[in-house]
Structure 1
Amino acid sequence: MPAVRSALIVGGGAAGSATAILLAEAGIAVHLVEARPDVPDVGSGITLQGNALRVLRALGVWDDVLASGYPFDSVGIRLPDPAGTLVAEIPDVRTGGPDLPATLGMPRPVLARLLLERAAEVGAKLRFGTFPVDVDQDDAGVDVTFSDGSSGRYDLVVGADGIHSWTRRRLGIEVEPESAGMGIWRVHVPRPAQVTRTDLTYGGSCHIAGYCPTGEDSMYAYLVEDVQDRSGLTQAEQVDVFRQLAAGYHGPWDEVRDSLTPETFINYARFESHVVPGPWHRGRIVLVGDAAHSCPPTIAQGAAQGFEDAAVLAELVVGADAFDDALLAGYAERRLPRASVVVEASVQLARWTLERTPPSEADVPGLMRRVSTLVTEAA
């Protein structure tokens, strides 16, 4: 008899949908609930490193991801001068292996749709606009009550409900994200022909001005500033602020500014981080992705680490013929050291940027090399 015959996935983001795919493919009866009313159809872009692409290939969506995104193998560094001068193009490490690009950018809503469609294709049952409001577990399973009044019983519950996870709090895990002191503006815009990779500009009106191509005709641009409350701005006001902050950046940024309209969708988020230090489970309820750990997007590893969680958890659950506490304890023991290094590196890079630490004191190349070496090995 398999260790797990039924599983509930709470949350339909990257880690949750990946877990659903892998468990359903193994013949486990999977239910996935997502609080949002439907798959999101607006949003910015996402940068996926090679180790994320490696898991996406295992999930059976790589061909669609490649067709929907924009692959590249280097990063550029520009100056905040009137020409947006390119001063360096640095080859990136193919952490997913030599047969995958180093990096791929794509629209976040497209990735979300591809993953959820794949989950449904392999047999997972999806329910939107629904979330747990109570759980009660015993040695044999977990009883879950949902916001729509329905209920169910499962062998395993996976909390993939994000950085401010209800599941984590419900388990009594008193770990909350902490601010890294910066906020990021993101906007999805048409791609200028000269944008063929991520370029970063350090300094100027913001800490970082960057962009990432997400398709033949699209890219997302982002500006990183000191964190502040931007919640009271209307959409048109957000666009005005973004345009003002971007005014000192040139090269492709001139086209980015020209493409903005008062209706352009703008996303603002704070840099936060946390790591649940001990076991990532209580009984038969376990955390994955941002529910267990989160990091600033300074090295573009957030989704990748969630995908790796899903791959490791599914491998252990599917390979076990009996359920006991050691099964889920082994998952965290395997994932915690690696995720912790990634979070610590992301926070350190954010701190160096925030404090404008000079290159002589901030070993950015060494930090990036250590992370790349780590994630090149499969989780």
Structure 2
Amino acid sequence: MSAINTALVIGGGAAGTAAAILLVEQGVDVELVEIAPDVVALGSGITLQGNALRVLRRLGVWESVRRLGHEFSTVGLRAPDGTLLAEITDARTGGPDLPAAVGMYRPDLARVLTGRADELGVRLRFATRCSALDQDADGVGVRFDDGSTGRYDLVVGADGVRSATRRMLGIDLEPEPTGMGIWRVFAPRPVSVTRTDLCYGGPAHIAGYCPTGPDALYAYLVEDAQDRTGLAPGEKLAVVRDLAWHYRGPWDEIRSNLTDPASINYTWFETHLLDGPWHRGRVVLIGDAVHVCPPTLAQGAALALEDAAVLAELLGAAERVDEELWSAFTARRLERARAVVNGSVQLGQWLLDGEEGDVPGLMAEVARVVGEPA
């Protein structure tokens, strides 16, 4: 049972599809609307830490994720010349029966989650935008851009960093750049790449890569944030290859495979955190709509999935949607998200400032926090 009978989820990313899956499993009639015309996911690859895998197992998709992705439980640290400086056993934040991390192609994860939602009976509507919310004590009336309307016991806004739902609620929260930009590229995986390796130093703040399946990886190079919008695809490829030229070891093989301009994605690191309750009445925000952190600790997707799991758990145990439920949700999520966001930003700031901060200590503390079940 659940405190609600009907729910609208706005946004078809990881947070939204996870919330839809878990609510429909409780017998809730769930509708999910997504502004994109089909299942999409920007970027090339994603690193799913153990605490994300714990939720994916709860969603019933772990075996699919395992089959499509590449699991590993150590991280390498390399010098720019390719020398392996250290091999670190990564924290298994999802528990001892799950790997420390899985690298995966982002569109594959999106398809797996959406497929699971569809299989369980979530009503999926693509190319649909929520244009207005009108709520009272008992529910939320919603108008969509195609002229249709609906009424729901709960609306979940999981529509990303520039959430339209957040703006409709009148919440003043916008992402701020942290000063870094990241080049991501999807490429064939050399057989020598079996885990994430990171290099701090050289012309990039971070040069790293993550295997995403049997034959693929995503590589990334982090620089000072620059306006790269005017570059043509071929020029972007040239910039990436030039940066990658300064790194050796597995990068030599990776660089030789960087030939497709369409595989390159460039974004700035951004951050925000809604410091306070994530709901207004019967509308609640989760995922990037309320917390965004640079990917320096690879915890963005994990936080989003945890939001969905905790929300569904509390709704399933409650008799009504009231302040007691929302207080419990805030208590379970806000400080945990703050620890991850602050840690992710701090690690990047040390790199920007050229400071030798306690990176291992920071990473261990965040791993300790997220290693506890959400």
If the TM-score is normalised by the length of the shorter chain, which range does it land in? over 0.9
Q: Using the TM superposition, give the Cα deviation of residue 264 of structure 1 relative to its aligned residue in structure 2, in angstroms.
A: 3.6
Q: Using the TM superposition, give the Cα deviation of residue 368 of structure 1 relative to its aligned residue in structure 2, in angstroms.
A: 0.8
For residue 173 of structure 1, what is the aligned residue in structure 2? 171
SS of the equivalent of 1:221 reads strand
For residue 320 of structure 2, what is the aligned residue in structure 1? 322
- Matching of residues 261-276 of structure 1 within 5 Å: 261-276=259-274
Quote the Cα distance in structure 2 between the aligned partners of 1:186 and 1:202.
16
Residues 202-211 or 317-326, more deviating: 317-326
1:373 matched to 2:371? The reply is no
Q: Is the 8 A contact 2:33 2:126 kept in 1?
A: yes
- Matching of residues 1-379 of structure 1 within 5 Å: 2-40=2-40, 43-81=43-81, 84-358=82-356, 362-379=357-374
Query: What is the alpha-carbon root mean square deviation over aligned residues?
Result: 1.2
Q: Deviations over 1:95-129 (max 9, x none)?
A: 11111000110100000000011011111111111
Structure 2 vs 1, CA of residues 275 and 41 (structure 1 numbering), >3 Å: closer, same or farther? Answer: closer
Q: Deviations over 1:50-92 (max 9, x none)?
A: 00000000000000000000000111011112xx111111110
Q: Deviations over 1:6-26 (max 9, x none)?
A: 101110111111001000111
One-letter amino acid matched to 2:291: H
Q: Using the TM superposition, give the Cα deviation of residue 320 of structure 1 relative to its aligned residue in structure 2, in angstroms.
A: 1.2
Q: Using the TM superposition, give the Cα deviation of residue 43 of structure 1 relative to its aligned residue in structure 2, in angstroms.
A: 3.8
SS of the equivalent of 2:245 reads helix
Q: Is the 8 A contact 1:79 1:87 kept in 2?
A: yes
Quote the Cα distance in structure 2 between the aligned partners of 1:160 and 1:185.
25
Query: Can you give the 5+ residue segments of structure 2 that lack an aligned partner in the other structure?
Result: none
Quote the Cα distance in structure 1 between the aligned partners of 2:286 and 2:42.
24
TM, length-normalised to structure 1: 0.96
Query: Can you give the 5+ residue segments of structure 1 that lack an aligned partner in the other structure?
Result: none
Q: Using the TM superposition, give the Cα deviation of residue 203 of structure 1 relative to its aligned residue in structure 2, in angstroms.
A: 1.1
One-letter amino acid matched to 1:174: D
How many corresponding residue pairs?
374
One-letter amino acid matched to 2:58: A
SS of the equivalent of 2:212 reads strand
Q: Deviations over 1:19-56 (max 9, x none)?
A: 01000111100000111110127740000110000000
Q: Percent of counterpart pairs with the same letter?
A: 62
Quote the Cα distance in structure 1 between the aligned partners of 2:126 and 2:230.
29
Q: Deviations over 1:193-220 (max 9, x none)?
A: 1101100111111111000000110000
Quote the Cα distance in structure 2 between the aligned partners of 1:125 and 1:281.
23
Residues 62-71 or 168-177, more deviating: 168-177
Q: Using the TM superposition, give the Cα deviation of residue 2 of structure 1 relative to its aligned residue in structure 2, in angstroms.
A: 4.4
